[in-house]
């Protein structure tokens, strides 16, 4: 099986090819980046629009990835707050440091909350493996929630591990509604969120189940990650802020802005 980084990079290459970036050359790519930043600024000075990122090779959302099509959408138990356990007849609970995560969805125009949107979140486990792909015997660390009146979707999960070539991250996909998410596949946004690194380093240093995550983090911080290597303000806006302790767990907050 190809490495997790290799499949991430293959997905990134496919996306860039589809967008025609390879044909544009470096000058065209720089111009495109400038246009993207300008567009974000024009659409909302208060809230930077969360950029589209690759879906990744392990989404299990009904799109074809890693050479096959898998989907947890529509399965009983997918819509849940606590995503640490497997569901729909599969067993097991992902080990790792508990994370209560609140992701707020807002509109770029005035940063107004977006209620009633469906947010699908998936991530790797402490060892850096993705359920249903690297670990075919479990489907943990996948779940969907609907944003409340304040635009917030709540998840109870674990702090993910850091595998070679990538900074710690989670994947997200936003839909207009739960019905839209489960009846088709027309999402509003596919993106990724990073984590504050000092807290991740503390966790990786303290807990054996995170394996080589600490060494990987030192080599591949978010600033060197292809998904988060843009301007510092954009990276900060694309980061889950962690507060807590290894012993008691962490609370994480982030804002996702839709244009």
pLDDT at 164: 96
Q: Label residue 62 exposed, middle or buried (CB < 10 Å: 0-12, 13-18, 19+).
A: middle
pLDDT digits (tens, 9 = 90+) for 110-144: 999 999 999 999 999 999 999 999 999 999 999 99
131 vs 83: CA distance, rounded Å? 12
- Res. 22: pLDDT tops 50: no
3 state DSSP class of 35: helix
176 Ramachandran zone, left/alpha/beta (phi>0; psi -120 to 50): alpha
The β-bridge partners of 251 are: 100, 243
Rounded mean pLDDT of the chain? 87
258 vs 250: CA distance, rounded Å? 26
Mean pLDDT along residues 48-73? 94
pLDDT at 32: 36
- Res. 3: pLDDT tops 70: no
Which CATH number is correct for 4-258, 3.40.228.10, 3.40.50.720, 2.60.130.10, 1.10.10.60? 2.60.130.10
pLDDT at 186: 86
Better-scored residue on pLDDT, 258 or 2: 258
Q: Would you place residue 8 in the very low, low, confident or very high pLDDT band (cuts 50, 70, 90)?
A: low
Q: Would you place residue 183 in the very low, low, confident or very high pLDDT band (cuts 50, 70, 90)?
A: confident
Q: Would you place residue 180 in the very low, low, confident or very high pLDDT band (cuts 50, 70, 90)?
A: very high
| pTM for the whole structure | 0.85
pLDDT > 90 in the chain, percent: 80
Q: Is the Cβ–Cβ distance between 164 and 9 less than 8 Å?
A: no
Other C-beta atoms closer than 10 Å to the C-beta of 113 total: 16
Mean pLDDT along residues 155-183? 96
Mean pLDDT along residues 62-86? 95
Mean pLDDT along residues 221-250? 96
Considering only 33-42, 89-98, 151-160, 200-209, which range has the smallest mean pLDDT?
33-42
């Amino acid at each position: 099986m190809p490495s997790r980084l290799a499949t991430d990079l293959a997905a990134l290459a496919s996306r860039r090819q589809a967008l025609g970036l390879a044909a544009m050359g470096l000058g065209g790519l720089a111009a495109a980046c400038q246009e993207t930043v300008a567009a974000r600024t024009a659409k909302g000075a208060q809230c930077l629009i969360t950029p589209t990122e690759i879906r990744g090779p392990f989404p299990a959302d009904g799109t074809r990835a890693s050479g096959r099509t898998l989907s947890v959408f529509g399965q009983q138990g997918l819509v849940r707050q606590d995503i640490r356990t497997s569901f729909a007849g599969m067993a097991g609970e992902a080990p790792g440091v508990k994370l209560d995560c609140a992701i707020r969805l807002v509109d770029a125009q005035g940063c107004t909350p977006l209620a009633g949107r469906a947010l699908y979140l998936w991530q790797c486990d402490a060892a850096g493996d993705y359920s249903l792909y690297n670990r075919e015997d479990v489907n943990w660390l996948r779940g969907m929630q609907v944003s409340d009146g304040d635009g917030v979707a709540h998840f109870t999960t674990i702090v993910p591990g850091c595998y070679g070539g990538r900074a710690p991250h989670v994947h997200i996909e936003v839909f207009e509604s739960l019905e839209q998410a489960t009846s088709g596949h027309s999402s509003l946004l596919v993106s990724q969120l990073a984590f504050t690194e000092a807290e991740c380093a503390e966790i990786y240093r303290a807990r054996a189940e995170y394996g080589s995550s600490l060494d990987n983090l030192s080599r591949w911080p978010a600033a060197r990650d292809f998904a988060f290597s843009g301007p510092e303000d954009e990276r900060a806006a694309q980061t889950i802020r962690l507060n807590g302790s290894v012993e008691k767990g962490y609370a994480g907050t982030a804002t996702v802005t839709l244009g």
